[in-house]
Amino acid sequence: MKSFRKYLAEFIGTFVLVFFACGTAAVLGCDRGKVDAAYLMTALAFGLVIVAMAYSIGNVSGCHINPAVSIAMLVSGKMSVVDFIGYIVAQFAGAIAGAAALIPFVPNGAAGGLGSNALVDNANAGASIALSIVIEIILTCVFVLAILGVTSKKENGAVAGLVIGLTLTLVHIIGIHFTGTSVNPARSFGPALFAGGDALKNVWVFILAPLVGGVIAALIYKVIAPEKKK
């Protein structure tokens, strides 16, 4: 029963992330090539959702709502393989449900993209898979490092949600311009599933790169902040 509550919390949290944050991008028509109010509000929406969910479900599941965070916790030895699988299933299901719920409310429905990601548009070479993978690994690594750091001490509990939310806002402020910012495989898969086209064709990039970024962050953190032997 305890595990079910954690998985349900992850489902709800990821649903809220996609519905509100991806929904903000879709409703406002966020243009990754133009830094304007919609661009900044979208970045802020992702961060605010994390703050809200951290203080809502954080005490239930830890508020991962992101497979990249879960894989980092797995590598760090902070969760079991069984829970990791349960979290991943719940997160992807929540993202799919969130994207589906968005369709009736946004301009052009699923055809509008639902806040899905896109490859880096290199002016010299066109859409670049390699650059997209690199930027997503960097952004995810920074985001997950912040999570591992702020959650490493119980006394940070009161501010952890705020720190994590602000960090997600930060990575979106630069990342939206390049890929729309994923740093979260579930958040990318849900909208892409319904948007189809290039969003679905290239979604593997936004599943693979954040997972790699999460693993790298966990390995880096093990080196710079090794656990003290009891």
Give the whole-angstrom CA distance, residue 203 versus residue 99: 15
CATH number of 2-224: 1.20.1080.10
| pLDDT tens sequence across 154-185 | 888 889 999 999 999 999 999 999 999 999 99
State how far the Cα of 181 lies from the Cα of 165, in Å rounded to an integer.
14
Q: Does the global pTM surpass 0.85?
A: yes
pLDDT digits (tens, 9 = 90+) for 127-163: 799 999 999 999 999 999 999 999 998 888 889 999 9
- What digits encode the pLDDT tens for the residues 77-99? 999 999 999 999 999 999 999 99
In this predicted structure, what is the pLDDT of residue 36?
86
139: Cβ–Cβ under 8 A, 6 or more apart, which residues? 171, 174, 175, 181, 183, 213
pLDDT in tens, 58-82: 999 999 999 999 999 999 999 999 9
